[in-house]
Structure 1
Amino acid sequence: MTEIFSTFGLMKILRFLLFPFAILYDLIISIRNFLFDVNILRSISFDIPVIAVGNLSVGGTGKSPQIEYLIRLLKNEHKVAVLSRGYKRKTKGFQLVNSTHSAEDVGDEPLQFFKKFDNVTVAVDANRTNGIQQLLKLVDPPEIILLDDAFQHRKVKAGFYILLTKYDDLYVNDFILPAGHLRESRKGAKRANIVVVTKCPQNLSDTEQNKIIKKLNLKSNQKVFFTAIDYDKKLKGSGEISIENLKNKEIVLVTGIANPTPLLNYLSEENINFTHLKFPDHHNFTSEDISRIHTVFNGIESEEKILITTEKDYVRLKDKVANISYIAIKSIFLTDEKLFVFEIQEFIKK
């Protein structure tokens, strides 16, 4: 208990010391947003539906599951393209993801989208304006473009904005960088058409939802939805084994994501014992990292042992580590899913 209070006190002191820098950062970002709002800095619009998915905070809000939800929703009726910056990739400029690319070439999430969904175009470009222009020049151009992690990319004016905020770390409870984790102030939420509270408990009550809606204090034309993470009941990858059968095995879990806590909690709730090797978000695994993974895994004497990872990490590890499987996830709506679908479809019709 003393350690908890000591950590909490240290965080308060650190935030106090960083607060002047946060004010300066907020001023710079606010001026930039104002210049875009009054059209001194120009935003470019496009003649096809562009849906931007993003957040106000740094990482870990569940953008990938939300993008995948939209892909599933739209891909059977429309030609869909996903445009990402390709975080931590080693290439530059516009890249149209293909089967020869690795996660180092285009980023782990874009490669995951490409491998997971047929007939969906996936591209990366830090310059989203150029990326959209290149997509529209294709022989078979998309009819809808999903912008991954583009809420702050003001040079493109998307037609529809989906803002994500995590249930246990709402942006209204956070501070701007570097005192907190917000990329811009809470006022940025006014640009959102929809706010999705992600990674909620699946039994979140209506009363609790209403409390959060009140706390977010959005405009009357903005809608709030609540989603949770749902884990597949069977591993994929090198071996397909049910989650239930993991209870009798020795598990080594490798993660390189922003917030592995929900996955750790899920495995614990399923009474699965595991050794956790944690790496930074979007980590490019080195030969030393691979050796460490092998050392820990081979150090377990039991023959009933399995090496597992997340779906995002799998695309970076599958060619480096033999016999590794992953737990796939998806986003599920707690309530009002039909209303969410209606909002997206109405935007596309317009």
Structure 2
Amino acid sequence: MKFIRIILFPIVPIYYVVTWLRNYLYDRGIMASKSYETPVICIGNLSTGGTGKTPTIEYLIRLLKDKKSVATLSRGYKRITEGFILADDEATADTIGDEPFQFFRKFEGIKVAVDGDRQNGIEQLIALKEKPEVILLDDAYQHRRVKPGMNILLTAYYNLYSKDIVLPTGNLREPRSGAKRADIIVVTKCPVDLSDEEKERIASKLKIKSEQKLFFSHIAYAEEFISKQGKLALRTLPNFTLVTGIANAKPLVEFLEKKNLKFNHIEYPDHYSFKPSDVEMLSKKGLLVTTEKDYVRLSHHENLEPNLYYLPIEMAMDKPEDFNALIEQYVG
């Protein structure tokens, strides 16, 4: 894969010009963006994934759900359906996508919708009889047809957008200059003990503008694995198999290793669609531990359910009071 990316380097300037020109046309108003009276918060990134959008959206849901009527809108990556769908009791990871289904099963009282056309999705939501008071756009930073009232841009500590290039050789969906659209930039997946000096160094690398707000977050792991059968404390866990289908499992692996847990890691691509042969193979591995996103795609298999657990995570912000105040001020 790395070799292929290297030999595709001549395409990088073409991709750069095309995406830069597209942004220029939107920035100048030559291509139209639509804004809405309903508060719309976009959570996205410049890179192709692995920046922690799901924990960030869950953080915002927890912050707002008791104060406002909240809806999430995703495209529903790898779902088998098309068009606008509002999740109901018939929803599955196949019909609305794994991450939206995770939101739906985890948080009561919120609306979870999917639509590849974010503009249409928003209009469908605000046309509901009980319309949401705030809409969280999942992974829509490059969806320029919608002009969010607030843009939150995520970049992972171990892979800052400032040291990356555009596709296909790099991982950026658009040039680094796209960061100027962000109101808030969050450096995610940081070490827990990140120093103030390191934060200042990162701020300099990212070239934060005076009107932008910069925050740092880390992943807070639970101390228990959870399943339909109950809970298992980390310290009591015997040898197990770790199964991941996420963009970057490195932080999770490092956390488990620091806990001195013994496990074998089976790694699949992000949003992997598990085949019957995969499920059959995993059913013979004994105790299985996975991420919450993978759990919603695996837990319906009866031969896996008795031995399948996931490790919950949450996003922890370095200055939660300041971050929360910005969000609450915007949504009113």
TM-score (norm: length of structure 1): 0.91
Is 1:201 the counterpart of 2:191? The answer is yes
Q: Given the alignment, which residue of 325, 329, 337 partners 2:309?
A: 325
Q: Secondary structure at the match of 1:314?
A: helix
Q: 2 CA distance for matches of 1:27 and 1:344?
A: 34
Q: 2 CA distance for matches of 1:283 and 1:208?
A: 35
Q: Given the alignment, which residue of 223, 245, 250 partners 1:261?
A: 250
AA partner of residue 35 (structure 2): S
Is 1:272 the counterpart of 2:261? The answer is yes
Is 1:296 the counterpart of 2:277? The answer is no
The aligned counterpart of 1:345 is 328
Q: 1 CA distance for matches of 2:83 and 2:155?
A: 29
**Between the two proteins, what is the percent identity of the paired residues?**
48
Q: 1 CA distance for matches of 2:311 and 2:153?
A: 25
Cα deviation for residue 67 of structure 1 reads 0.1
After superposing the two structures, state which structure 1 stretch, 340-349 or 82-91, moved more.
Answer: 340-349
AA partner of residue 307 (structure 1): L
Q: 1 CA distance for matches of 2:113 and 2:6?
A: 41
Q: Secondary structure at the match of 1:241?
A: strand
AA partner of residue 252 (structure 2): L
The aligned counterpart of 1:302 is none
Rg larger in 1 or in 2?
1
Structure 2, gaps ≥5 residues long: none
Is 1:184 the counterpart of 2:188? The answer is no
Structure 1, gaps ≥5 residues long: 1-9, 298-305
- Cα pair 1:81 1:145 within 8 Å, conserved: yes
Is 1:251 the counterpart of 2:232? The answer is no
The aligned counterpart of 1:18 is 8
Q: 2 CA distance for matches of 1:91 and 1:15?
A: 31
The aligned counterpart of 1:3 is none
The aligned counterpart of 1:240 is 231
Cα deviation for residue 295 of structure 1 reads 2.8
CA offsets per residue over residues 264-290 of structure 1, 9 Å max, x none?
000000000001111111111110110
The aligned counterpart of 1:172 is 162
CA offsets per residue over residues 149-207 of structure 1, 9 Å max, x none?
01000000000000000001000011100110000000000000000000000011111
AA partner of residue 283 (structure 1): Y
- Cα pair 1:82 1:146 within 8 Å, conserved: yes
Distance 1:50-1:292 versus aligned 2 partners, 3 A rule:
same
CA offsets per residue over residues 12-43 of structure 1, 9 Å max, x none?
x7665333201000111111111111111111
Q: 2 CA distance for matches of 1:55 and 1:165?
A: 6
AA partner of residue 210 (structure 2): S
AA partner of residue 73 (structure 2): L
Q: Secondary structure at the match of 2:280?
A: helix
- Cα pair 1:55 1:61 within 8 Å, conserved: yes
AA partner of residue 348 (structure 1): V
AA partner of residue 236 (structure 2): N
The aligned counterpart of 1:315 is 296
- Cα pair 1:104 1:284 within 8 Å, conserved: no
The aligned counterpart of 2:67 is 77
Q: 2 CA distance for matches of 1:109 and 1:89?
A: 11
Q: Secondary structure at the match of 2:241?
A: strand
Kindly tell me the number of residue pairs found equivalent between the two proteins. Answer: 328
- Cα pair 1:231 1:327 within 8 Å, conserved: yes
Q: Given the alignment, which residue of 121, 124, 146 partners 1:156?
A: 146
The aligned counterpart of 1:43 is 33
CA offsets per residue over residues 87-142 of structure 1, 9 Å max, x none?
11010000111121111111000000000001000000000000001101112100
Q: Given the alignment, which residue of 18, 24, 47 partners 1:34?
A: 24
- Cα pair 1:54 1:150 within 8 Å, conserved: yes
Q: 2 CA distance for matches of 1:172 and 1:18?
A: 21
Q: 2 CA distance for matches of 1:174 and 1:319?
A: 38
The aligned counterpart of 1:54 is 44
Structure 1: which 4+ aligned runs deviate by more than 6 Å?
A: none
Q: Given the alignment, which residue of 117, 123, 130 partners 1:127?
A: 117
Distance 1:14-1:318 versus aligned 2 partners, 3 A rule:
closer
